[in-house]
Structure 1
């Protein structure tokens, strides 16, 4: 497989061509769902910066509502925003819905005809890639959220970038185990396991882990943000009382099992000043592990779209067990970079990972500056 490469301008050109081909292949009814106004324009902009990782309506035209030829064009667009490894991982997570259906004995619904549906991954383009100086696109469904902004022929934002997996591992033939996000977990475990007593004390925030990423699916991250409860990370709340009660029950059971108090959630809340152990305080081998771990987030996109991060300033903060395969959470935070991972649900076999840039998620500040300069 050839690696996705090229300058940000070349990648933007590929994205534009792929997005245009997809939009042109849609019927009028399909375009109403899949093709919206340019970024910055009222209702479309408010929708563009909403994102989800639950099995809810992510907004856009789902793959299941497209003909095979249209699906192929959608996947072609998806490939332009990802490295080869990123594309393979995303495609695996999409198909992994079939595995989760088996885990749940094909019995869930969540208000949909099929709760775990590989056809319910949504694509939406904002603006006209062939004409507009500013346009965007996003792709998402259960455990996937990818968001891109393009301005003046260059990709200017690639976050939030969320990948999750449930189950985190499942058996394959020959005694193998398939783990789509294995490195996101294993490299972190190797790193925290290598810390000496003093380093570990600085890295460990709490001996118990939250049941989800702390930043949730907020548009912007701010100091003091606490973990959102499960009913609050869907697109609205269920009108069906039975579904609403079921979601609340699942959330409360997870919280009870985690054993976190209100003070614990406050202690784990987001901060402007990163907490934990810095890369500068690590040994050479530990810094190498840290760099590899950071890359499991930034290498999701083509290399020329990935930031060059100062490892000395990246902080590792940990909550929960340091024993492999037990519930834990970690946060990596530094200039222009925030990554979170949690694996607590389903007996520590259900993981969430997200890469964010608090200074440039959705390209909000870049877009605002661009619009000011145009007026």
Structure 2
């Protein structure tokens, strides 16, 4: 493990302890969960995640004082690069913009529907202790999931960031586009492909309504229903029993996640396209700090060769579209469909060890064997 990676784990532990020390007994009862790898029900809760405005589990900003809000954001910052933190902080503030876009009128039966204080933090286990520990921060369009094992950051996925609106006007004719580069680079890449490669990259002429893997705990080919994007017992949108992607039958099979990635592999791209691909990967993998990000892995040409680009929908700017980058230990999904193609979802996952499941198993085998 690099020194930088160990420093990230230490910063996380210091920030988490400072936050926990600020809480009273009632707050701690909500804020702290069992250590990772505990019993089945506890681990199921740790690995449940959402990106909708639903209960993510933990303590909200509403349940804390302003000084504690600052400690929450210090912990959030410890697990992100500077650019990643700035993007996440912007997405939280977009709740106010979205409220305005919707005329301050959406009512889901709670005091405020579009609410920048409805973000949740929970710590699992004892930060900095000898046992594995982790933390989760999430709310509408944000889900950060971190695990520390043996003093190192063992997992930072799933890592979801969305933006609604994806584009909003600023003074002086500027535009706020928190995820704009991830959209523009992918479109430039797919439009640069030779016709035969472009045909292979296009998995479906129609874009799905959402990312294909949804918020499944494990990346698989299960059809996810819309209701599963929301915690049971809270608000669930209409058409809850319909597929979250809006796809069924042959269309769903065309976009299904399969062990062998679909699309065009990096091995078939020219030098300029490969540089675009690596830069596009950076818009996701650079969300987290140096020493933790797996981006240097793609300095190896063989690793970049194995990344497949798949696209669905139109390649024209302003038209509904979806793309994914899929390869060993990598799944990136993007979609921009709704609100007049002004509502983006962008998620980075590690299909082999989301939530650090394999690292936890190895730790327990080494330290808790009978």
- 2:328 corresponds to 1:330: no
Point out where structure 1 has 5 or more consecutive residues left out of the alignment.
none
The runs of at least 4 consecutive aligned structure 1 residues that moved more than 2 Å come to 109-112, 130-133, 228-232, 249-255
Give the whole-Å Cα distance in 1 for the aligned partners of 2:126 and 2:107: 36
Corresponding residue for 1:136?
134
C-alpha displacement of 1:168? 0.6
C-alpha displacement of 1:110? 2.6
Corresponding residue for 1:112?
110
Give the whole-Å Cα distance in 2 for the aligned partners of 1:35 and 1:51: 16
Give the whole-Å Cα distance in 1 for the aligned partners of 2:104 and 2:316: 32
Point out where structure 2 has 5 or more consecutive residues left out of the alignment.
none
Indicate conservation of the 8 Å contact 2:53/2:139, yes or no: yes
SS of 1:163's equivalent in the other structure is strand
Query: Per the alignment, do residues 250 and 271 of structure 1 end up closer, same or farther by CA in structure 2, a change over 3 Å counting?
Result: closer
Equivalences, count: 360
Give the whole-Å Cα distance in 1 for the aligned partners of 2:136 and 2:175: 31
Indicate conservation of the 8 Å contact 1:35/1:125, yes or no: yes
Corresponding residue for 1:26?
23
Corresponding residue for 1:121?
119
SS of 1:114's equivalent in the other structure is coil
C-alpha displacement of 1:131? 2.5
Match runs of 1:65-104 below 5 Å: 65-104=63-102
Corresponding residue for 1:373?
366
C-alpha displacement of 1:174? 1.0
Give the whole-Å Cα distance in 2 for the aligned partners of 1:249 and 1:369: 38
Q: TM-score, normalised by structure 2?
A: 0.93
Corresponding residue for 2:347?
354
Match runs of 1:202-213 below 5 Å: 202-213=200-211
- 2:160 corresponds to 1:162: yes
SS of 2:116's equivalent in the other structure is coil
SS of 1:355's equivalent in the other structure is strand
C-alpha displacement of 1:89? 0.1
1:109-158, Cα deviation, whole Å (9 max, x unpaired):
23321111110110000011143421000100000000000011110000
C-alpha displacement of 1:225? 3.0
Which one of 182, 201, 208 corresponds to residue 180 of structure 2? 182
Which one of 145, 159, 169 corresponds to residue 147 of structure 1? 145
Give the whole-Å Cα distance in 1 for the aligned partners of 2:240 and 2:20: 41
